[in-house]
Structure 1
């Protein structure tokens, strides 16, 4: 993985995109901390199917949260 600063990424964007096209991941840093990545398109995450996710959540059993609420309330005092 190639790591570059934001300034370098601005100067060399075309080169970095060419590297991504060849399968490389590029990490962009600000003040030495990673803030973004340029990934090859085939490695990018797929979009979340929120309709499917909502249906899964609806099918999950409902639990009694009174125990959690009691522990939370007791911890306050």
Structure 2
């Protein structure tokens, strides 16, 4: 672990952040006593992906129950833009 003074940390913060991003830990000291430690955050594991296949027939059944959109996307967006949303 590298140790740097507060003054040096202020001057070279960008460089210290780059070092930490590469996996180093940097200790900041004042009058020889540690006052802060810079280290990269712990990475959270990615969530597990869904292993079962998507049931397409069930999705189609849900879609078939939805009402048909009567206006075009352009008309809808014009209404939103022109203030109908308020």
- Name the TM-score class by shorter chain: 0.5 to 0.7
Partner residue of 1:16? 16
Structure 1 stretches of 4+ moved >6 Å: none
Q: What CA distance in whole angstroms lies between the structure 2 residues aligned with 1:23 and 1:41?
A: 10
Q: What CA distance in whole angstroms lies between the structure 2 residues aligned with 1:22 and 1:2?
A: 13
Shift of 1:19: 0.5
Q: What CA distance in whole angstroms lies between the structure 2 residues aligned with 1:5 and 1:20?
A: 16
- Local SS of the residue matching 1:19: helix
- Structure with larger Rg: 2
Structure ranking higher on relative contact order (CA contacts 8 Å, 6+ apart): 1
Shift of 1:41: 1.4
TM-score by length of 1: 0.53
Segments of 5+ residues of structure 2 without an aligned counterpart are 44-86
How many residues matched?
Answer: 43
Q: Aligned-residue CA RMSD in angstroms?
A: 1.2
Segments of 5+ residues of structure 1 without an aligned counterpart are 44-77
